[in-house]
Structure 1
């Protein structure tokens, strides 16, 4: 006689409490409920998340800010290279346009990366995809260093495009990987590591790129050499990590999936079997991974994907792209010296990092929906104040306005780092089932990177044709307001929810036509008689 499978043995145990009332044949078709778990992830899982993110999201934050305090150095490098190659020195307006384009090309590359993300995640797998993205990153960083030696800003441009591809792939793959290796009860805190490490990257980058560190004409290649070493360290950690359990299960390798769950969750075999049973139930209708076009052909998945795209859009158009890229210049135009503006820029990144601690406390207690709505509303208010202060300085030239602007940017940074900053990287993975995650993450990354590329290319020319205040108001007030309105009516709560439970949450969202708002309920709380 054949021995029963481990899953059948587990479900058939008389002492196993699977959430049903009486034993019988039905017990073999029901998914056992997993007992509530701690919302604190295992230390091993946190260290894994940090190691993965130090090769991806860290470099996103790092690249966002290194061209900010060193802008004058890089612009001079570009102009000297242009003169050596073409015997022509560029005028300031042309040079500003060229430089803003070079800065934005990082996100053009990132946009390209978003469209290969889905293919990489499904064909190579999450872990092998990270190998590829980290390798591309190291190649591009080496090219940036070489460009300084051969005096070629054209090579530097190519390096930024390739680095953008690498960064988007790393961001998307790490977000999917971390969501799939984490227990549902602490998925938010693990996902928060992505945003946290981005802030670590901005702090480190803003310090290392200061004029009195490596932000000089002779030393700026050391910025990239340091970055290369950090990415190499993360690359060397990957061989010690298993593949995503969800991906292994979708490929039919249940034994490897169980071993991976035991490794990541720090649990025993019986607990791992319960997790696998729940994963099978949630993905029973999700055999084949969907492509980026296919995910838009299913009405329900298209709607969820679009919600994730709007969350990413609100993050990009919050103003953070310009604060990261041009904060030093903005502060200098309100009366501060370059050193004062550079120190203030470091202060903003430190506030971002400290705010992550607050975010870790509130992300599980308040939920994704309420946190995104409240922080985006606060960001809208700070953006309005920021535009007013810029215009006030244009009219009065009062020195105190520059210091008030520092305070307002600090408040903006705090709310951004608690809400849209970290949440936009994993909300879409919680909204959709496993078959659609990589495609949805690709669309989310595409929206974010396209928006950042547009903003960085448009801001300086728009500022030069109007002024700082008008440019900031045009780009960062109405888009945030529209995003808040959309999320209020369309964004369900995803905290600790499976895709099935997110469906239930969606049915209780506020309606535009005056329908009553029902209190959201959890499937776990419905009487089992109604379910079974």
Structure 2
């Protein structure tokens, strides 16, 4: 394929391993929940000579699970600064060193017989995942050829879904999701960053960062040639970088600069809403609670467990399908299609939950899997790449940090409120709020998101800074 070289493939794989790490750790701790809770009781008794109540045990378990998201929020918030100060490649290297340390600490929590060690390990793992979700998409967006940027951007989500799916398989009670195997299940966390550290040694730095941020043209040309292996293509992209640098009105910016900037307000709002449309869609509830969700609807536990595997498999398969579609149909069409399909599927889930018949169980599974299919079509992947296409080099890292921080915060909000608020209060109507939110997100994206397919970043930035940008312009762009 044109513009695809061995170094580009290696660099892509080296970057998306960070997103695989994020995906694997998103749900890996949920499968051995009962075993870890017993571990908490036993170690607490050993250390403090106090037998925990069920409420105390559950509180510590919830704290351990939440530490992953808390660490992720911190990592996301400083990810842009690290990408700016160290560069994209060195930022990834730092992240993987932290990830390797977090994986090792998590793995030794059982031999050391300490739930506190597990807590620290999950915090470091989350911190690494937060860094990865900022720096990996940044690196990918800056090494990708314009004509392949969408498809390569989808690989972020493919890595996430592959990580989730592998954690679901290994987390089965017949494999590692049991008393004897749960420590090994968590220990696997250390392998992706170890492999990534080796691969990154052979990956080039981001040419755009080297040229525009560091102002080192010769070094940028050298790094770009490693990726393209074509002098004409290199010369063309260097000219494009030169034009972007000359036209760029925003220098390197920090978080507060981005928030204050009136010129970037539209782009930032679009980026934030795109990330909210991913996490407030209801997919977090599917990922974290689908087994409970199905069993509460009357489906047997074994069937629910394998239906959960079906969710992971469909996510991977459909994300693969969207790789070629992203640069053919465009971001706007696919994201709108995904939101509309998810909204309809959420309504069907509510209907299925309120039908009292044997066929309703099959209907519920089909509606849930349909929800997952439409998530993979657009909302699963496009938010990860959108900041790379809405912001030029100067504000891009800080803007990415803000949007990804919002993504993690929304993830935490749903994971905490779904089991404690939505299920008890709404019962069989738990997905109705998600249907309403999806409808509102569809309206916003329809009105304001321009098509970024095939556009240089500077073109999109200039478009969004057009005086009087308003509803309706997106449809004509």
Q: TM-score, normalised by structure 2?
A: 0.92
Alpha-carbon offset, residue 257 of structure 1: 0.4
SS at match of 1:424: helix
Alpha-carbon offset, residue 468 of structure 1: 4.5
**Partner in structure 1 of residue 451 of structure 2:** 493
The alignment status of 1:139 with 2:82, answered yes or no, reads no
Mark the CA change 1:289 to 1:502 in structure 2 (over 3 Å): closer, same or farther: same
- Measured against aligned partners, the alpha-carbon deviations of 1:362-405 in whole angstroms (never above 9, x if no partner) come to 2111111111111111111112222332344xxx3x44433322
SS at match of 2:255: coil
- Measured against aligned partners, the alpha-carbon deviations of 1:320-343 in whole angstroms (never above 9, x if no partner) come to 112111111211212233322221
Mark the CA change 1:384 to 1:314 in structure 2 (over 3 Å): closer, same or farther: same
- Measured against aligned partners, the alpha-carbon deviations of 1:86-139 in whole angstroms (never above 9, x if no partner) come to 623333x66555544432321111111111112100111111111111111111
2:410 is aligned, of 451, 463, 474, to: 451
8 Å contact kept, 1:101–1:456: no
2:148 is aligned, of 170, 183, 186, to: 186
- Measured against aligned partners, the alpha-carbon deviations of 1:13-48 in whole angstroms (never above 9, x if no partner) come to xxxxxxxxxxxxxxxxxxxxxxxxx77744542332
2:84 is aligned, of 118, 122, 128, to: 122
8 Å contact kept, 1:134–1:231: yes
1:70-469 alignment to 2 at 5 Å? 70-84=32-46, 85=48, 87-91=50-54, 95-96=57-58, 98-249=60-211, 250-268=213-231, 270-284=232-246, 285=248, 288-392=251-355, 396=356, 398-463=357-422, 465-466=424-425, 468-469=427-428
2:297, 2:273 → 1: CA distance? 32
Alpha-carbon offset, residue 300 of structure 1: 2.1
Larger Cα-atom Rg: 1
Alpha-carbon offset, residue 288 of structure 1: 3.2
2:473, 2:203 → 1: CA distance? 48
Alpha-carbon offset, residue 162 of structure 1: 1.6
8 Å contact kept, 1:66–1:206: yes
8 Å contact kept, 2:154–2:323: yes
The alignment status of 1:478 with 2:440, answered yes or no, reads no
Mark the CA change 1:435 to 1:375 in structure 2 (over 3 Å): closer, same or farther: same
Alpha-carbon offset, residue 463 of structure 1: 4.9
2:90, 2:11 → 1: CA distance? 16
1:466, 1:194 → 2: CA distance? 35
Alpha-carbon offset, residue 356 of structure 1: 1.7
Identify the range of structure 1 (77-86 vs 293-302) with the bigger mean alpha-carbon deviation.
Answer: 77-86
2:321, 2:141 → 1: CA distance? 21
Mark the CA change 1:400 to 1:142 in structure 2 (over 3 Å): closer, same or farther: farther
8 Å contact kept, 1:46–1:190: no
- Measured against aligned partners, the alpha-carbon deviations of 1:214-239 in whole angstroms (never above 9, x if no partner) come to 00011111112223123211111111
SS at match of 2:198: helix
2:121, 2:390 → 1: CA distance? 34
Consecutive unaligned residues of structure 2, counting only runs of 5 or more, are: none
Q: Give the number of aligned pairs.
A: 473
Mark the CA change 1:243 to 1:510 in structure 2 (over 3 Å): closer, same or farther: closer
Alpha-carbon offset, residue 511 of structure 1: 4.8
Identify the range of structure 1 (152-161 vs 398-407) with the bigger mean alpha-carbon deviation.
Answer: 398-407
- Measured against aligned partners, the alpha-carbon deviations of 1:33-78 in whole angstroms (never above 9, x if no partner) come to xxxxx77744542332122211x11011111222333333333333
